[in-house]
Structure 1
Amino acid sequence: MADVEKGVASGSSPANEKKKLTKKKGKGKKKLTKKQKLAAAEETRKREELERETREREWMARADSECRAYERELRYQSEEKERREWEQEQIDKIETHVEQSKKEWHTRMNETSRWRKYIQGSQAINVHSESQINTWISVWIDQDNAALEETIQTCQEAEDIISELELLIEEHREGGEHEGDLLLLDRYRNNIYILRETQMMKIDRTTAVMIQKADEHASIKGEVLFQHQHSQIKYGLWVNVTKNPRIKRVDFSSIGLSTDVPKNLALTSVAIRMMHFAFDYLAHKSLSEYQAVGGILYMELLALPPPPKKVKGWTLRQITPLANNVSRLNYPPAVGIGVEVANMNGMTGAVGANLGWAPLRVVYALPSHVIIRDDVPVLGWWSKESNTWRTDGISEIEYDAPTKTIVFKTNHVTAIAVIIPRYFEFPISFWELKPLDRNEAVLTVTTASGRNVRIKVGEGYCRVFEPMELELYRLEQGKFTPIELLRALSSSGINILPDNNTAIQVKDHVTIKDPTLEKKLCKEISQMAGTFAFRWSRWNNMKEKRKIVFMAKEARESSHRQREGDTDEGWSHVLYQERSCTTVNTNEKSAKFSEDLVEGGKIHQHLYHCLQPANPYQPSIPSVAFTSTLQTLLLLLRLPSFSA
């Protein structure tokens, strides 16, 4: 109590005591001297100087690194420029040599072709010359009606010209983006149309003369029968001058065609003409999704002119329009007194529901090269109204495989053929090109139906390699141009030759590539096919039209290997574009496609240099006869576009 009172009396309190303690503590902190302040400032300056120097060194290091990187980039660009210029110089030399050699080779081939035609008795026509073709057609049209043998022979010569024009169309079709190419293609097609029409016109005029004077050719039994064959054309004509009801059948035995003659027809003034063209005579008109195989059979009824009269040793013939042309009749023909002559426009119609007129029973021996997939083939008749093949009105089809004989009944007298879906083999599911030798290679194409087509390519020729069916044996023995071989395969029933409508039919399954890019690739592959193998890649169809993906492999590693069990080992994936060609780091089993270059890979302008690093040997260009033939074959097939 005394202490408390003492504290109160002295005026002291806890708060005052705290202030005193604080003041005592503050008195313990010493102020910096001037010397100390100068030392601290110097230390700060040195630290800042060090930091500045460090920043400068880092900046200089970065600048030096960037400078070195820039210099490296300049050196790289310079080296790349030199490399590209060197590569281009090499390619220019190769192209110059190849083009010159190709020109000389084509000149030799044309001279050989003209000489072959000359010694065979055919007229040597330069199909590149519009004036020569026009002159040839004009002279042919103006010629008087010739004998049957001469007419058929000239029609075959016209067909040879058509085949050459079709080849030119196939060779030029990828250049259609240029106006000059379009005009040229139109000219070729127009010439084909004129030649086709002239063929039938000349056959009709010759037939008219034969019918007009049929009585002069009657046999002892009064039968008038003509039949003739030349190369790809068969012709048979029966003129019913006796109207004998006992005639049951007209048999053109030497050309493998025949038809039954119903009693009503045997009593009618008509002629029956049966012709077979080994080529697709109607291909240039067809809008159908079907195509003819084994050629075209023409079954026609023709009107007869008034019969001649014998007067005092003279034969009097009435001059009618039928003296120089034929009149095609419907089946059954319009029957009144004799036969009512149809219009001269040659229209062929379907049979009406006339009682007593049974369908015509026709026996037709198919060419030996035709492949029939099913037990019974599908037959179609040609509709002029729609320019398509139709199947109604043909019934009771029978087929004898050993003799390849078809028996059927028809209500239509017009063009008739075995037909198949035109795009049955599309899209292509796999392809591979392997060299056999420096100037020989084998192209394997697997179609949508699972059929393997193997084509051997040599110097100036193609042929079937190891035929799949006996029907193709002839294509193994001969030497054909690419278009000849592909058309022969198509005629046999294996169509792997795409046309303008193929892309429409398979658009949901393929990616149509840029034609210019595809054309460039075909050329470069053909130049490398002596040392490298090439193969389809599943990635190609997934890339847009300006990118093509395929596989390539050094030839010695891939020769004689089969597709079965083969792997990605040794194969490089090539990404091919308009101005670049690279090997990329991907394979067929990758989850997704990578456009990253392989280790050490570079971007090249030409396939030649793109593949060269993978090959320790300098690639050598095969002969121009081989490369030109292979290039044409690849251009016709367009494998990058029509492979799924």
Structure 2
Amino acid sequence: MSDTPEGELSEADVGRYRQTIRDLQELLSYKLDEATVEMLKKATAEADIESGNLQKISKLDDVTVMLWANLNKNPRFKSFEFPGEGFTFELPKPLATADVGIRVIKTAFDHLSPHCRTFYPRKKKVDKSAAQEEEEKEEEEGTKDGEEGEKEGEDDDEKPLDADADDAKSVASGRKSAVSAAGSTREKEEGENEGKEGEEKGEGEEGEEREGEGEEKKPTTAEAEEEEELLELDEDVIDLRQFSPLGGVMYLELLQLPPQPVSARGWSIVEGSCLSAYLRQFCSLGGVMYLELLQLPPQLVCEIFVDESLQRIAYPGEPEDLKKLGATLTLATPPEEKPAAKETSQANMLLEGPPKEGEKGEGEQQGEQPEQPEADAAPPAPVQPTYITPPVGVTIKLPSTVAFYEEPQPARWSWAGKHWRLDGFTDIKYDEENKTLSFKTNTFGLLTVIQDSHLNMPFQSWEIRPRGNNAALFTIIAAIVELEIEIKDDRCCLSQPEDTPELDHLRKKWMAPKDLVKALRASGVNIFPEPDSSKFVSMTKKDEEAEMLTYRCMAMTLPAFAFSWSKWNAEAGEDRIVMQAAEHLEDEPVNEDDWCCYVQSVRRAKKLKINEFSEEFSVDHAEGSELRSNMYHMLTDSASEKARERIQAASYKFLHCAGELIRATRLFTYS
């Protein structure tokens, strides 16, 4: 589903694929539960010699199952760490003496976030009324633009080279003309039919318009719906557009131990299905032998069968359920001397309302309350004791393949709301040196670690230069980290930084651009903005058409030209893209004196007179240069013969790979 472009899959196929995913997840969960039950049944036989408890680890490439069973029930138990997995838990005293087990399922992937509504970008809903008004305005401007376009064509030869301030407006009007031309015939026909009705209602509509001139402008329907959607989110709910779960998911579960086998006189006796087999075998030999060996009354046969499915324990749960496990809970308040009964009865009298007429006695009229017989007095309400469920301590060794540039935060999954939440944690501590995160929680369930997705935005600077035939080096100095990405043919790889061990598994590993983007994000290094990243990070707003045109021209001329960040891009306005460029045919750093500033708008490109060290920005063109429609023609027309040959001989795979990587970073908007 992720590899297929949007719109090519039908809704039926998407629904069928999603159902397949759910079926596979349920099957995997069922298999893990069955395997866990089988391991817990044999917990006594496979218990650790030193501790007397079951300690098992089963590890695959993407899934690790850790199982611990409390067989010893030592009240002095403090904590246990699964060796080699970096997961430590600390049970409170009530659970340390109960028949419980701990299962931790750690996955290297996150299969829950896609179910959250904040996982995908919010689609803007177009307000139809506003769209109709815009179309009407476009039609009115269309005729004016046509007349101005004829005059502009006549005076185009005399227009100065630096007069590109209105490029975006003229191109935008050209885009509007197609819409106005297509709808002109239809609007004329509708206008003739509605002309008479419009004349009759004209005076009334003018009055309404005048009355509405003083009213404040109301937000559109799309903006209102987006604001309502954001307000619906609780402050503890994690917005996955801003934060990213890293390092996979951990499922911490509190389990009830199944009956363990008991050895007596050479026999192994187990409550459950195994015992039913023994009973059938013994009954075939006669009832006397059955009664002598087990000493069980016949009616106990129906009560002894237990459910063999995995039994999860809710914590905090009902005290009765924990007492069945042998857990001893402490009272939050002693159930002694509770004067709430009298107060409650008085409150009930107030809630019943004033007495009806004729019911007041002489004492009540004088302000005295009549005495009530003891039989009519309300019985004291039973006092419900409140039990304390102490929190569980958890210490997690953060993954060695994820770089954390700020203090990570633990999060828990809410099945009811289908989202990640920040509440339910106390005593959060982060050890940066040992890369451990410890906290206390009184809820078991799904856990993960989150980090801000936009830590490395905006970029400080960037540079991309060729390195021979069909090869290039892409350098980005982000807000925290500096990256170097090598491009070769249709593959790319991370080459720098070398001082970050969390990225060792990616260094010098060649992959497709989209795979590198996915791998870097999963490693905590996100330099690839999303469509709505502008809501969470400062940016330089640019015309999207001009920006995408510039990226294409950069990729097509990259075999012979180097490009770099320019400080003037932030001051050039929304309609202009400013960069530095230089012809570069050697595999070495670019000389500072070779850089020249260029500007690209929607309609034209030119070489600027200023350089990176000028005192102020100017759109004046360099002496001897000419205007071109885009940066590709601007650079190739002034390039050397060798540079043009290299550009013509470049592989289309290399050009596509470089263009895809440049577009993913949105260099001119987020730097």
Distance 1:489 1:252 in 2: 29
Change (3 A) 1:298 1:219: same
Change (3 A) 1:333 1:457: farther
Aligned counterpart, 1:552: 581
Aligned with residue 459 of structure 1, among 467, 489, 508:
489
One-letter code aligned to 1:587: N
Change (3 A) 1:293 1:192: farther
Aligned counterpart, 2:506: 475
Aligned counterpart, 2:249: 296
Shift of 1:511: 0.7
The answer to whether the 8 Å contact 1:533/1:558 transfers is no
The answer to whether the 8 Å contact 1:379/1:394 transfers is no
Q: Deviations over 1:539-580 (max 9, x none)?
A: 33344555322221111489324xxxx75x322323223443
Question: 1:308 aligned to 2:272?
Answer: yes
Aligned with residue 447 of structure 1, among 462, 466, 478:
478
Indicate the structure whose relative CO is greater, using CA pairs within 8 Å and at least 6 residues apart. 2
**SS of the residue 2:504 aligns to:** helix
Q: Per residue, is there more helix in 1 or in 2?
A: 1
The answer to whether the 8 Å contact 1:363/1:406 transfers is yes
Q: Residues 155-304 of structure 1: matches in 2 within 5 Å?
A: 165=2, 168=3, 181=6, 197-198=22-23, 200-220=25-45, 226-238=56-68, 249-268=79-98, 270-284=100-114, 285=116, 286=119, 287-288=239-240, 289-302=242-255
Shift of 1:443: 1.2
Question: 1:640 aligned to 2:668?
Answer: yes
Distance 1:579 1:366 in 2: 51
Aligned counterpart, 2:610: 586
Q: Deviations over 1:68-116 (max 9, x none)?
A: xxxxxxxxxxxxxxxxxxxxxxxxxxxxxxxxxxxxxxxxxxxxxxxxx
One-letter code aligned to 2:62: Q
Q: Deviations over 1:479-509 (max 9, x none)?
A: 2322332333333322212123312222x53
Question: 1:420 aligned to 2:444?
Answer: no
Distance 1:610 1:188 in 2: 47
One-letter code aligned to 1:547: R
Q: Which moved more, 1:221-230 or 1:482-491?
A: 221-230
Shift of 1:446: 1.8
Distance 2:386 2:110 in 1: 33
Aligned counterpart, 2:627: 603
Aligned counterpart, 1:366: 398
What runs of 5+ residues in structure 2 fail to find an aligned partner? 48-52, 120-238, 260-270, 281-300, 326-384
The answer to whether the 8 Å contact 2:542/2:575 transfers is no
One-letter code aligned to 1:401: E
Shift of 1:330: 4.2
- Say how many residue pairs are matched: 444
One-letter code aligned to 1:218: A
Q: Deviations over 1:460-486 (max 9, x none)?
A: 322222324222222223223223323
**SS of the residue 1:499 aligns to:** coil
The answer to whether the 8 Å contact 1:574/1:583 transfers is yes
Question: 1:530 aligned to 2:559?
Answer: yes
The answer to whether the 8 Å contact 2:568/2:612 transfers is yes
Q: Residues 560-575 of structure 1: matches in 2 within 5 Å?
A: 560-561=589-590, 567=592, 569-575=593-599
One-letter code aligned to 2:276: V
The answer to whether the 8 Å contact 1:332/1:354 transfers is no
Distance 2:626 2:23 in 1: 58
Shift of 1:243: 6.0
One-letter code aligned to 2:594: G
One-letter code aligned to 2:103: R
Change (3 A) 1:337 1:593: closer
Question: 1:393 aligned to 2:393?
Answer: no
Higher Cα Rg, which structure: 1
What runs of 5+ residues in structure 1 fail to find an aligned partner? 1-126, 128-164, 173-180, 342-352
Distance 2:403 2:430 in 1: 16
Q: Which moved more, 1:240-249 or 1:535-544?
A: 240-249
Identity level (%): 25
Aligned counterpart, 2:640: 616
The answer to whether the 8 Å contact 1:383/1:390 transfers is no
One-letter code aligned to 2:507: E
Shift of 1:453: 1.7
Compute the RMSD of aligned alpha carbons: 3.8
**SS of the residue 1:524 aligns to:** helix
One-letter code aligned to 2:439: F
Shift of 1:533: 0.6
Shift of 1:291: 1.9
**SS of the residue 2:594 aligns to:** coil
Q: Deviations over 1:563-599 (max 9, x none)?
A: xxx75x3223232234433323333344554444433
Distance 1:243 1:388 in 2: 34
Q: Deviations over 1:512-547 (max 9, x none)?
A: 541x54444333322222211111223333445553
Distance 1:354 1:619 in 2: 83
**SS of the residue 2:455 aligns to:** coil
One-letter code aligned to 1:335: P
One-letter code aligned to 1:295: G
Q: Which moved more, 1:529-538 or 1:275-284?
A: 275-284
One-letter code aligned to 1:206: K
The answer to whether the 8 Å contact 1:381/1:412 transfers is no
One-letter code aligned to 1:614: S
Shift of 1:612: 1.8
Change (3 A) 1:230 1:213: closer
Distance 2:501 2:14 in 1: 34
Question: 1:336 aligned to 2:360?
Answer: no
The answer to whether the 8 Å contact 2:255/2:312 transfers is yes
Distance 2:565 2:74 in 1: 65
Change (3 A) 1:527 1:521: same
Q: Deviations over 1:388-440 (max 9, x none)?
A: 441651425252635x3444333332333332222121122211112222222
One-letter code aligned to 1:482: P
Shift of 1:339: 7.7
One-letter code aligned to 1:311: S
Distance 1:560 1:261 in 2: 58
Aligned counterpart, 2:287: none
Distance 2:663 2:28 in 1: 36
Distance 2:13 2:597 in 1: 40
